[in-house]
């Protein structure tokens, strides 16, 4: 019997994409399920029936990664699957093969693809459509959605719930910030403030999408560019490295534009009740001091560990048959 969507002569037709591409695309209940399942795996990594048994995950990283690549590789193995890893120059994409043809090949040999690329999310959707398999955006040009799931799960673990949280994000408006905005917008009564240097903020189209969803839930997403505008209270102060992976800045003196965001004990004293989050890697002496990163208010290492358990939650979900399929 030939699999649906394929013929003995070739792929009959591409199918609608499936995977984790942006947290803006996910339904509230589905995102919350991933957050809850991440917490369950954090408590017990054996709490599953090996949903990837007999399946093979392709792990494609065209950019550097420590946590995300290790998390998804380990997650696939812990869930009973096997892994094929690809580096930035391993595929025939380097010699001009199309994404469509690469997707067709992946679909005939793999069961899921986890990919970090330098390109837009549309490329990952192309792989999924032509391969007929789920694809995970493990950080792309626009967004880092699996980081967002990890971040929400970390907050949920610490606070017990996400509704009503006040979160201050400090740093470049990068793909982690976009994921945080789209993720928190799913919850009620949340106040997210993005404190970014002028010219380095989250782009307006992404802000508009997050604000629209947040408004429906009585939440807010705002972007500011000076400390004077910062909120008086915060439950979480979240920072990130100033030099986003795979990017560069046109101004050679850009660090001076970021200096007012340096997180030390004096900075954190403005919000004495807040915990500290950092998506890592950390550049001590740039965006943060060792004292704060290693301090008793820091959730950074729990957050790093949650990368694994949230990867397990994502892969477990994508191992299930497409809804409505027989």
Q: What is the CATH number of the domain that holds 171?
A: 3.40.50.1370
Mean pLDDT confidence for 5-11: 55
pLDDT beyond 70 at 247: no
Tell me whether residue 6 is in a domain.
no
Tell me whether residue 4 is in a domain.
no
Domain with 24 in it: 19-143+307-318
pLDDT at 80: 98
Do residues 80 and 169 share a domain? no
Do residues 134 and 159 share a domain? no
119: pLDDT confidence band, cut at 50, 70 and 90?
confident
pLDDT at 4: 45
Tell me whether residue 3 is in a domain.
no
Closest CA relative to residue 199, chosen from 252, 249, 142: 249
- Contact at 8 Å (CB) between 157 and 127? no
Do residues 91 and 234 share a domain? no
245: pLDDT confidence band, cut at 50, 70 and 90?
low
pLDDT at 136: 98
Mean pLDDT confidence for 266-282: 98
**Would you put residue 319 in left (φ > 0), alpha (ψ -120 to 50) or beta?**
alpha
Tell me whether residue 214 is in a domain.
yes
Do residues 136 and 178 share a domain? no
> How far is it, in rounded angstroms, from Cα 33 to Cα 12?
34
Tell me whether residue 101 is in a domain.
yes
- Structurally, the chain folds into a number of domains equal to 2
Do residues 136 and 212 share a domain? no
**In this predicted model, what pLDDT tens digit does every residue of 298-309 receive, in sequence order?**
999 999 999 999
pLDDT at 250: 77
Mean pLDDT confidence for 226-241: 97
pLDDT at 246: 58
pLDDT at 2: 43
- Contact at 8 Å (CB) between 13 and 132? no
> How far is it, in rounded angstroms, from Cα 186 to Cα 174?
19
Do residues 276 and 185 share a domain? yes
Kindly list the distances between the CA atom of residue 193 and the CA atoms of 155, 209, 229, 263, in Å, as whole numbers in the listed order: 16, 15, 10, 16
pLDDT at 184: 98
pLDDT at 326: 38
To the question of pTM greater than 0.85 for the whole model, the response is yes
Percent of the chain residues topping a pLDDT of 70:
94
State the average pLDDT for the chain.
Answer: 93
12: pLDDT confidence band, cut at 50, 70 and 90?
very low
Do residues 174 and 287 share a domain? yes
pLDDT beyond 80 at 249: no
Do residues 113 and 203 share a domain? no
- For 271, the token pair is 């919000």
Tell me whether residue 81 is in a domain.
yes
Do residues 286 and 154 share a domain? yes
């Amino acid at each position: 019997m030939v699999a649906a969507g394929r013929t003995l002569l070739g792929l009959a037709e591409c199918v609608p994409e499936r995977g984790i591409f942006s947290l803006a695309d996910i339904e509230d209940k589905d995102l919350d399920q991933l957050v809850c399942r991440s917490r369950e795996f954090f408590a017990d990594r054996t709490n599953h029936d090996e949903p990837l048994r007999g399946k093979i995950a392709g792990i494609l990283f065209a950019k550097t990664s420590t946590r995300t690549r290790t998390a998804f590789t380990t997650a696939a193995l812990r869930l009973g699957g096997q892994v094929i890893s690809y580096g930035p120059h391993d595929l025939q994409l380097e010699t001009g093969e199309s994404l469509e043809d690469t997707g067709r090949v992946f679909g005939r040999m793999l069961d899921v693809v986890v990919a970090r690329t330098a390109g837009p999310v549309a490329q990952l959707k192309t792989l999924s459509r032509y391969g007929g398999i789920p694809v995970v955006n493990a950080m792309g040009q626009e967004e880092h959605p699996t980081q967002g799931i990890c971040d929400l799960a970390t907050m949920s673990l610490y606070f017990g719930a996400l509704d009503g949280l006040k979160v201050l994000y400090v740093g470049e408006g990068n793909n982690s910030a976009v994921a945080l905005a789209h993720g928190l917008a799913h919850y009620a009564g949340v106040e997210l403030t993005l404190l970014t240097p002028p010219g380095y903020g989250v782009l307006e189209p992404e802000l508009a999408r997050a604000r629209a969803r947040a408004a429906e839930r009585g939440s807010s997403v705002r972007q500011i560019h000076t400390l004077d505008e910062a909120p008086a209270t915060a439950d979480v102060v979240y920072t990130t490295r100033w030099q986003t992976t795979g990017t560069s800045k046109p101004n050679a003196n850009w660090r001076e534009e970021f200096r007012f965001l340096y997180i030390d004990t004096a900075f954190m004293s403005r919000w004495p009740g807040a915990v500290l989050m950092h998506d890592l890697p950390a550049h001590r002496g740039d965006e943060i001091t060792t004292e704060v990163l290693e301090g008793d208010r820091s959730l950074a290492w729990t957050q790093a560990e949650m990368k694994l358990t949230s990867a397990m939650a994502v892969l477990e979900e994508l191992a299930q048959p497409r809804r409505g399929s027989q």
